[in-house]
Chains A and B, each alone.
Chain A
Amino acid sequence: MYDLANGVLLLSFILAGYAAWAAFMGGRWRQPELVKSAERSAVALFLLSSLAIGILTYAFVTRDFSLEYVASYSSRTLPMFYTVSAVWAGQAGSLLFWVWLLMMFTAIVVWQNQKKNRQLIPYVLGTLLFTAFFFFGLMVYATSPFKLLPSPPADGNGLNPMLQNPGMVMHPPTLYLGYVGFAVPFAFAIAALLANRLDSQWIKTTRRWTLVAWLFLTLGNLFGAKWAYVELGWGGYWAWDPVENASLMPWLTGTAFLHSVMIQEKRGMLKIWNLVLIMLTFSLTIFGTFITRSGIISSVHSFGVSNLGPMFLAFLGLTIAVSGYLLWKRWPQLQSEHRLDAVLSRESSFLFNNLILVGMAFAVFWGTIFPIISEAVRGVKITVGPPFFNQINIPIGLALLALTGICPLIAWRKASKRNLTRNFTIPFAAGLVTALVLWLFGIQSIYPLMSFSLTMFVFVTIVMEFYRGAAARARIAGRSFMTALWDLTMRNKRRYGGYIVHLGVLFIFVGITGSSAFVKEKTVSLKKGDTVQIGDYTLHYQGLVDQSTDHARIIAAKMKVEKNGKFIGTLYPAKQQHRRHDPVSEVAIRQTPKEDLYLILSGWDEQERAAMKVLVIPLVAWIWIGGVVMVIGTLIALGPDRFKRQIDAVQRKAPRLQIPEVEHAH
């Protein structure tokens, strides 16, 4: 069966190479038969890669340890849920998973574009299939998941206990869906350049693809953060590890792209910038994969040192070179249809938003690669860790927060004094009052103060946008406010979905600020019957609990918890000792919207004396709540607009009529 699987990979590699050639040449020579052949090959490649991943999953489920990959990442006692997730736990399997997703997306692109974008499709397919050709090549020549062991062991090594967590099951697939998803708008951008179709069509076609990729990348980062928080056991959720940074950078540039495409769609500007952004985003996804898999920068998340680094570097170089060449070649045709009218305008504010997002991505990139630069220039190895990234990114993040409030409310073309006064007086006053109140309540550190005040400023701008729109609609249509609010959102999902996403971002800012600036922490050594006081909590240590399962011994400390003298529950921070792996912490968390009580058992002795770290982390739950709100907002923004459908219908009837009827007055 595994000979068949290796054969499938080899056949896929050859077919992907042929299909990429057929697609590019079919487009260049205007040969529809060649393009059709590439389309059929793309669908066949999806089926072949599905077969390959199906075989690998089957090997895991049947615990076939004759496969080196299965023996390395699973064992007989591993629960089935984690056994299936082990498919993408290692280098080779995750590459197969990557290419399977890529082929699935390519097949969807073929299906969606049977009758539209026919000039672009050959080059879109060529780009996607060439990427698949590279990934299949890696599995054929460098790291196959179907490598057999000469003598299969009776049991496998098992999955790293840290990866046995629902967050870690969800984190890689969502991250890969994001990474791979950005390949589609990138392929359309390359196609637009190759086909010389430089209008906004490629952007309109890929808007939903971009949003979906962005959504999954957001989810991937949040699942990763949640996993780190509940599994790594240090009370944090983001350690600025190079691999974490690798997934944040394309998210930042992708977010910039999502915003700047609006300017091209509405005013025909920033064409070059949008192309640069999507090229940058795709390149950063490859850069992230390179960092994770090359072992060039040490990281707790990487797959270890491998021979894949130079190959990824070559692919990255090729991507940048081809993108740069095409951009240079089409430069004269990419000039804007309009120019910016004023510094104080919606267009300019979007430019500044882009500057901050890309600037932050650059800051993260710079910090990530600085150890390599330092070693090359000075010959001295250094580390760039959380203190650097926090200090650099906090002021940039605050600037971004301010622009989140400013961008949607400032007028297009040129903001008048009336526009500024009308839209910003109340939010600005709310921010100022918040700052004053917090100052009086003792919050006097500059960054938390700025963060909470700006959050209030942005929150009020969003509430005002919803309120004004819904109130006007309720007045005109004679409906209740809530019906009008619902109707308003549903009629312009893109706009109001976007505001809901911004609301989620605010919650995340609140969570990050609270959990970074106001943590209470105690490291204690307790003997049975001892009590520890932290914040409003009193914890009574009642001894150790020793449990054994098939694959681990679990030592937990029984902690009776009281809040303001009232019993609220019992927590069991623990350490798991696995037969084949190092011991890992199993933290105990009591979560509320106000704060988390977070207990880590560090060690113990024969007399049941327990070493423990106790933290009270304020507002951290708002990060996860914010994530959910962001998902809801993105899903709303993904839906078709009733308002836009009406405009399209009017335009179809009277193509020269460009101005839609205004639906509601502000």
Chain B
Amino acid sequence: MRTKPLSLMLLVLLLVTVPVTAQNRPTLQDIKTSLTCQCGCAMTVEACQGAMSCTVADKLTAEAQALLDRGLDKQAILASFVSQYGEQILSAPTKKGFNLTAWITPFFAILVSGFAIVKIVQKWSNRQAKNSEFSGRKKVAAQDAPYEKMLDDVLRHLD
């Protein structure tokens, strides 16, 4: 049973980090969005080409078009750019090796924290229930019921 939350967590991580759309034949825009312009603007080739008259973005676009014309798929085109310009040309880290931590860490942190919150709140509510049983507060609780209701009303209306 202990492995259940862990498996769920891994499943969620897998789902959110795997691209949702299927890999069809790439368009020039796909490639340009996946590449960072090397002119120093830090934008994607797609964005840089629109924003400025950038000869570097034009050159990269022409190279991408040439590779597309040769019938290469997206992965092969990007690999070709990486071999020529280094990994920094990709606009997102690859999903392997150390780079995988970039993709997984945020979700892992959120899921672990969420799980911890649920466990802590459950523990608190169980402890409160036990305390009221031990101290024989059931009768008192019954007497307190109108006040409890009043408190709930006040909280609701004091938003």
Contacts and interface: CB of A to CB of B under 8 A. Distances in A.
Contacts, number: 177
Contacts of B122: 343
A239 interface: yes
Contacts of B120: 340
B99 interface: yes
Interface string A543-571: 00000000000000000000000000000
B92 A300 contact: no
Contacts of B52: 582-585
Interface residues of B, number: 61
Given A234-B50, A355-B114, A298 B98 contact: no
Contacts of A342: 121, 125
A640 interface: no
A411 B89 CA distance: 50
B92 A384 contact: yes
**A contact patch SS:** mixed
Contacts of B90: 382-383
A272 to B, nearest CB: 13
Interface in B48-64: 48-53
Nearest to B19: A391
Interface in A174-189: none
Given A340-B125, A348-B121, A374-B99, A447 B33 contact: no
Interface in A146-190: none
A197 interface: no
Contact of A241 (B43, B46, B50, B107): B43
Interface in B83-103: 86-93, 98-99, 102-103
Contacts of A339: 124, 127-128
A341 B128 contact: yes
B110 interface: yes
A355 B117 contact: yes
Interface stretch (A26-34, A250-258, A314-322, A359-367): A359-367
Nearest to A351: B117
B106 interface: yes
B91 A387 contact: yes
B102 A383 contact: no
B20 A385 contact: no
Contacts of B87: 380-382
B67 interface: no
A447 B89 contact: no
Interface in B1-53: 16-17, 19-21, 28-29, 33-34, 36, 40-44, 46-53
Given A343-B121, A359-B109, A382-B90, A663 B50 contact: no
B98 A411 contact: no
Contact of A387 (B29, B33, B154, B158): B33
Nearest to A361: B106
Interface string A573-617: 001000000111100000000000000101100000000010000
A362 B107 CA distance: 10
A542 interface: no
Contacts of A359: 106, 109-110, 113
7 contacts: A343-B121, A359-B109, A382-B99, A383-B90, A413-B152, A492-B159, A582-B52
Interface of B: 16-17, 19-21, 28-29, 33-34, 36, 40-44, 46-53, 86-93, 98-99, 102-103, 105-107, 109-110, 113-114, 117-118, 120-122, 124-125, 127-128, 150-159
